[in-house]
Structure 1
Amino acid sequence: MTNEKNSAFTLDVRENGVAVVTMDVPGESMNTLRAEFADEINHVLDQIEGNKNIKGVVLISGKASSFVAGADIGMLDKCTTAEEAEQLSLQGQATMQRIENMPVTWVAAINGPALGGGLELAMCCHYRVCTDSDKTVMGLPEVQLGLLPGSGGTQRLPRLIGLQAGMQAMLTGKQFRPKQAKKAGIVDEVVPHSVLLDVAIEFALKRKPAPRQPKLNLVGKLLERTPFGRQVLFKQARKQTLSKTRGNYPAPERILDVLEAGAISLAKGYKTEAKYFGELVMTPESRQLRNIFFATTEMKKEHGVDGVEPAKVAKAAVLGGGLMGGGIAYVTAKAGIPARIKDIRAEGIANAMKYSFDLLMPRVKRRIMSKALMQKQMALLTGSTDYAGFKNTDIVVEAVFEDLKLKQQMVADIESQCAETTIFASNTSSIPIGQIAAQAARPENVIGLHYFSPVDKMPLAEVIAHSGTSDQTISTTVAFARRQGKTPIVVKDGAGFYVNRILAPYMNEAACILLAGEPIEHIDKSLLNFGFPVGPMKLLDEVGIDVGSKISPILVADLGERFTAPDAFDKLLQDDRKGKKNKSGLYDYNGKKPGKAVDESVYTLLGISPRQQLSDDQIAERCVLLMLNEAAMCLDEGVIRNARDGDIGAIFGIGFPPFLGGPFRYMDSLGIDHVVARLNYYAGVLGDKFKPAEVLVKMAAEKATFY
């Protein structure tokens, strides 16, 4: 038995000859791999090699709900050159190879996340056994940090599950649930947690397995096991990858390079993996993606208000059974919180229930979740056309129409039907919360909780406190949103809050560019190339042209003429063009490929003869500069608490390109003086809407930065 003080690894040799290596990083809730562990690991390996009585080894975690969550990302920031980062990769490869080459059988006993370096560690073992726990997931998500697996993962995963499947997993960061992992060939057995160690020990007493080839159909064999097939496979993969990344993310292309090298020889694959890992660590894209990771990790530790603990939310309710209400009910039940849905119509409640059912059933069919778990989640949803069952509700989320009087009536209803401590959270996208709380008997309980559509997919939630909202209400609402799987940011009350406020000038400028004659598809392509997931014209159709028109007057009334929307919106609505929702907008929703092609008749309606005159860069610069300028004003006015929250809000709320780090990190990288100079240029050409924010002018003069 070896248990050196403060060591992350302990070795326990049992009477049956099986050595159990337990990884338990002191002082941490999850295990992560660190460069400084190399000596500890090698010390354990030396002991195993020196003990001839050891017949097999089980590698298990000492943490209750995680195997190894990956490598410690912080150590990458300490690298000053690509060569230093490459050495980290080579060190990891050497350790993993040493385990794989050992004469005794190694078994990884996995419970909880085995991600990134954690899965690489498991894959160098000869067998893998995992639990059937909902918390058990496996994957190589390094691409999401602008990296590739650097400890042999690019070579081992394809050998387990096939080149195409491995390629897809690494390019997308896909995570495998236990049954999926077994079917794919990543693990050898899935067992209940209670017998994990026992089953792993049984495997450790077996002989090392002979090299296994993934199961492939005839087409798979032709593509993966012939030189011509692999050539076709990689050519097509590069084409598809470039169409998605538009050249903005180097990691996916490097993953393909490494896989192609490994298809020639494993030695070349490992060497190329280390080289490109080192290079990617030093790219600005990876640095910004890692900044996002650190920011979101930091935010998880924060309360809504420092020093104010959230109250417990044991029961929630949702007012309104529409798409937003259905989505909010879904993420609430998913968090294990009972949710009572109220709608004026029974059909509304049924639709909200169906929203959850339609999301859960495909997960059951794909064996991502069990039918019993699906039924358990559905059982947390109940409905009513009155306020029966609301008495003991801790928080009520309102998701009704954007009508001030209706929302004020909802506040009054909840105050009369619920407890004195019940929080009323409005999902309004534009109406100031102070107005909704204006007639409240208990305004301290009223807050904004703005979700983004679709609720089940969009990670952001804006928590909006008006001047009378209590600190307890803020902290409780932040904790509630976090339990729902959201990344909440606390913003100050005001028209548009933060996300819609910075989005509006961006969208308005895109509309101005359209009215000047630029083709719709050219405008959208320009912003897609810049890095947004969807172009502004397409986004307008998706959100609803009518929704945009309702928000605009509220912004103008509160913030001034720079938010005035172009007349184009009115003309579109007069022609009953609301977008995707009524299959009539800027795009054609009635052809063979709905929503793919522009509805050319819109040009006639707007009196435009489309002709491309501006470059992609000119269009993107004009739209994005207005967003950056507005974001700076929001920070200066205290709408957001700090630049970090502003960056996370823009990335998670409207898809600001993650590889640029968010509006504030992007301005820092451009240089504040450059941002001001470009705004001044456009102000001279296109008017005062481009006038630089005073805070930017001051920062440029002082050579200051946001970070």
Structure 2
Amino acid sequence: MAKAKKATENTEATSAFTLQERENGIAILTIDVPGESMNTLKIEFSEQISVMLDQIESNNNIKGVVVVSGKDNSFVAGADISMLASCETAEDAQAISQGGQEIFQRIEDMQAHFVAAIHGPALGGGLELALACHSRVCSDDSKTQLGLPEVQLGLLPGSGGTQRLPRLIGVQKAMKMMLTGAPVRAKQALKYGIVDDMVPQSILLDVAIELAQKSKPAKKQPKLDLMGKFLEKTPFGRSTLFNQARKQTLAKTKGNYPAPELIIDCIESGISKGIEHGMRVEATNFGQLVMSAESEQLRNIFFATTEMKKETGVSGVEPAKLHKIGVLGGGLMGGGIAFVTATKAGLPARIKDIRPEGIANAMKYSYDLLNKKVKRRFIRKSEMQKQMSLLTGSVDYSGFGDADVVIEAVFEDLTLKQNMVNDVETHCNENTIFASNTSSIPIGQIADKAKRPEQVIGLHYFSPVDKMPLAEVIAHDKTSDLTISTTVDLARKQGKTPIVVKDGAGFYVNRILAPYMNEAANVLLAGEPIEHIDNALVKFGFPVGPVKLLDEVGIDVGTKIIPILMAQFGDRFKSADAFDKVLADDRKGKKNKRGFYAYTGKKPGKEVDESVYELLGITPAKGLSGNEIAERCVLMMLNEAAMCLDEDVIRSPRDGDIGAIFGIGFPPFLGGPFRYMDKLGAQHVVDRLNHYASQFGDKFTPAQRLLDMAKNKQTFY
């Protein structure tokens, strides 16, 4: 490799960019944002990078430029979205987009051959920067991923991404990446044609330098099959493609998210009227989205989860070091917990079940998930074997002596769980934490006979464990601060977003879910068709309707919590008679293929089992609007959330919002129950609750917290 001839650096010591010229006519442009663990693009960088581009343009010796990261874990992880908060109008945000477009267009127009050397995430603005370069090389490392995730924040790629990516890899692949926001790994990026080469990290810079010494390549055409050529290269095909994309997008978003449709508009404008027109549409649409209520709430969620990642369970209390985890029970929950422990946390997991088949099933759970990743080439077989080697099992407590935390995932039976506590205290060490994955039994009761109650805690996962992002960490009144912080640390290592909640029936998530589900059952018993109820809540923004959700979770499981809630909170939680009748008919939902929905025929689980109406003694007929059904069910959830905050079940409105969004799919674009109540106004929420209380009784009585807030014109945030 040629020796460095001279280093030309920005005069400001704080610049994120440095330029190093080499003897072979190649310059290395390094991005290294001071004081940050990952590179993100900030608005003030435009001046810094302009200085660099001026230097490159004025130096005839520079024939090629390699853009590389000074961080060892990322290329550029995206733009710093906190800068959008300063925008007061759509024009302000549009100007940010235009600024990014101009810088990247300048890179594309440079005489020197720009090559992006990508290792680690190249996301959002990071990928847009790479796309403006003339060539791209990436490392084959598992950390390397390329994507445009802006849609997840209610935005669109605003620095040319909607224009350059479709031209590089074709409209269909580019549209899929932008509409889902899902990144692609190195191998897939090469296959798509996003990068020109994929090499080991150790030679990434050498290969990029070699490429930069060559002439700038001609603009590549995307590789398309025959159908692709018809859809993307003919007017009729393009019209069909974009119409279908809009139809499918609307079916998914129900019109609640404006970003996907505006992304499609940007791509279509650019393809049909040229890149300059496409850029103008992109900047305009970006400005519009930054000022939208939906994007504001999605950005709030992003900031909240980022903030939560920095917190320990108890302020100032560092977690204990974790070396090994025990899991009791080899069922679906136990198998899922063992999987995230081994694959996400990278910790050995020892599984105990009373039957060898239980252990085998738990192992198979992980094997099947990992094998799918191997088949899709997301991971190598050697990586799968390494992760599987972290899983072991036994039918007794051998191998549990050195476990730091033992997570119990057995049946919802208080005596059984108390016996498990005793077993762990007998067979494990004196520092072992006992974490119960109960969904409903108060932790104080589980710890009631413990010798070391300070080491007993709740760690409530949601099913399926490998997919659901939330974990509730439940401390009873004797749980120690060290136990809380260590459990929060474990949940985070397992890839979860943990919220710490106070002990009590239903904890937080199931407690706010129960009255919502009950109200849906009451509406059903009043004669509203099941699909009408479910459609109303899906249109409101939930991923599935309440009746469908009950079938998915299991009607027996979903209703088990009701008596526990009634024991603590009284008749407010009294369930509708519908549940008893349905259970008495051996309808448990999807798992035994008998529920509110039919699981035989051409569309299993898609159509209502009409015989359930006869069972419930009702003749279904639409009497209520979808809006009224949604309002009744959601108000019950909102009111209960306010009570939970008032009783310190949750620590803050933020935790309550994240818990509802990640635990039960509360519509993210509404920001969570507390952000939504702020949007509606406390007085409006109180008025609507009183309106329904006059019709349906005390269960709609507004929480005292809401009454006080309405009186004093307060908000949660």
Matched, 1:301 2:310: yes
Aligned identity (percent) is 72
Q: In structure 2, the residue corresponding to 1:310 is in which secondary structure?
A: coil
Residue 593 of structure 1 and its aligned partner are, at CA, apart by 1.2
Further displaced range: 246-255 or 127-136? 127-136
What residue number does 1:340 align with?
A: 350
Aligned pairs for 1:177-188 (under 5 A) are 177-188=185-196
What residue number does 2:4 align with?
A: none
What residue number does 1:521 align with?
A: 531
CA offsets, 1:376-398, max 9 Å, x none?
Answer: 11111111111111011111110
Matched, 1:284 2:293: yes
Instruction: Output the amino acid matched with 2:535.
Output: K
Residue 267 of structure 1 and its aligned partner are, at CA, apart by 1.1
What residue number does 1:6 align with?
A: 14
Aligned pairs for 1:143-542 (under 5 A) are 143-264=151-272, 265-334=274-343, 335-542=345-552
Q: In structure 2, the residue corresponding to 1:182 is in which secondary structure?
A: helix
Alignment match of 1:82 (pick from 67, 74, 90): 90
Q: In structure 2, the residue corresponding to 1:513 is in which secondary structure?
A: helix
| Counterpart Cα distance in 1 of 2:16 and 2:325 | 41
Residue 365 of structure 1 and its aligned partner are, at CA, apart by 1.1
| Counterpart Cα distance in 1 of 2:373 and 2:216 | 35
Matched, 1:128 2:125: no
Residue 497 of structure 1 and its aligned partner are, at CA, apart by 0.2
CA offsets, 1:103-136, max 9 Å, x none?
Answer: 1111111111110000000111111111111111
Residue 599 of structure 1 and its aligned partner are, at CA, apart by 0.2
Alignment match of 2:698 (pick from 669, 674, 688): 688
Residue 2 of structure 1 and its aligned partner are, at CA, apart by 2.5
| Counterpart Cα distance in 1 of 2:559 and 2:547 | 14
What residue number does 2:122 align with?
A: 114
Further displaced range: 103-112 or 526-535? 103-112
| Counterpart Cα distance in 1 of 2:327 and 2:278 | 53
| Counterpart Cα distance in 1 of 2:26 and 2:240 | 46
| Counterpart Cα distance in 1 of 2:167 and 2:377 | 24
Instruction: Output the amino acid matched with 1:117.
Output: G
What residue number does 1:96 align with?
A: 104
Instruction: Output the amino acid matched with 1:331.
Output: V
Residue 33 of structure 1 and its aligned partner are, at CA, apart by 0.5
| Counterpart Cα distance in 1 of 2:135 and 2:325 | 44
Instruction: Output the amino acid matched with 1:248.
Output: N
| Counterpart Cα distance in 1 of 2:644 and 2:214 | 63
Q: In structure 1, the residue corresponding to 2:326 is in which secondary structure?
A: strand
CA offsets, 1:143-176, max 9 Å, x none?
Answer: 0000000000001111121101101110000110
| Counterpart Cα distance in 2 of 1:374 and 1:15 | 44
| Counterpart Cα distance in 1 of 2:326 and 2:66 | 47
Matched, 1:615 2:625: yes
Instruction: Output the amino acid matched with 1:419.
Output: N
CA offsets, 1:553-587, max 9 Å, x none?
Answer: 00000111100111111101110000001000000
Instruction: Output the amino acid matched with 2:264.
Output: L
| Counterpart Cα distance in 1 of 2:465 and 2:661 | 15
What residue number does 1:604 align with?
A: 614
Runs of 4+ residues over 4 Å off in structure 1: none
Q: In structure 1, the residue corresponding to 2:65 is in which secondary structure?
A: strand
| Counterpart Cα distance in 2 of 1:235 and 1:55 | 44
What residue number does 2:3 align with?
A: none
Residue 549 of structure 1 and its aligned partner are, at CA, apart by 2.2
Q: In structure 1, the residue corresponding to 2:44 is in which secondary structure?
A: helix
What residue number does 1:676 align with?
A: 686
| Counterpart Cα distance in 2 of 1:366 and 1:550 | 39
| Counterpart Cα distance in 2 of 1:681 and 1:391 | 58
TM-score, length-normalised on structure 2? Answer: 0.98
Residue 361 of structure 1 and its aligned partner are, at CA, apart by 1.2
Q: In structure 2, the residue corresponding to 1:410 is in which secondary structure?
A: helix
| Counterpart Cα distance in 1 of 2:395 and 2:29 | 57
| Counterpart Cα distance in 1 of 2:167 and 2:426 | 64
CA offsets, 1:4-59, max 9 Å, x none?
Answer: 31110000001111100110111110111111101100000000011111111010
| Counterpart Cα distance in 1 of 2:404 and 2:136 | 44
CA offsets, 1:321-342, max 9 Å, x none?
Answer: 0000111011000121110111
Structure 1: 5+ residue stretches without partners: none
Q: How many residues align?
A: 707
| Counterpart Cα distance in 1 of 2:221 and 2:168 | 7
Residue 193 of structure 1 and its aligned partner are, at CA, apart by 1.3
Structure 2: 5+ residue stretches without partners: 1-6
Residue 191 of structure 1 and its aligned partner are, at CA, apart by 1.4
What residue number does 1:47 align with?
A: 55
| Counterpart Cα distance in 1 of 2:558 and 2:166 | 47
Instruction: Output the amino acid matched with 1:322.
Output: G
| Counterpart Cα distance in 2 of 1:117 and 1:281 | 15
| Counterpart Cα distance in 2 of 1:391 and 1:499 | 33
CA offsets, 1:528-565, max 9 Å, x none?
Answer: 00000000000000011101221100000011110011
Residue 296 of structure 1 and its aligned partner are, at CA, apart by 0.3
| Counterpart Cα distance in 2 of 1:421 and 1:332 | 19
| Counterpart Cα distance in 2 of 1:68 and 1:603 | 56
Residue 268 of structure 1 and its aligned partner are, at CA, apart by 1.0
Instruction: Output the amino acid matched with 2:285.
Output: Y
| Counterpart Cα distance in 2 of 1:81 and 1:516 | 47
Q: In structure 1, the residue corresponding to 2:374 is in which secondary structure?
A: helix
CA offsets, 1:272-321, max 9 Å, x none?
Answer: 00000000000000000000000000000000000000111111011000
| Counterpart Cα distance in 1 of 2:559 and 2:514 | 10
| Counterpart Cα distance in 2 of 1:239 and 1:683 | 40
What residue number does 1:627 align with?
A: 637
Alignment match of 2:80 (pick from 66, 72, 79): 72
CA offsets, 1:409-455, max 9 Å, x none?
Answer: 11000111111111110000000000000000011110000000000
TM-score, length-normalised on structure 1? Answer: 1.00
| Counterpart Cα distance in 2 of 1:194 and 1:9 | 22
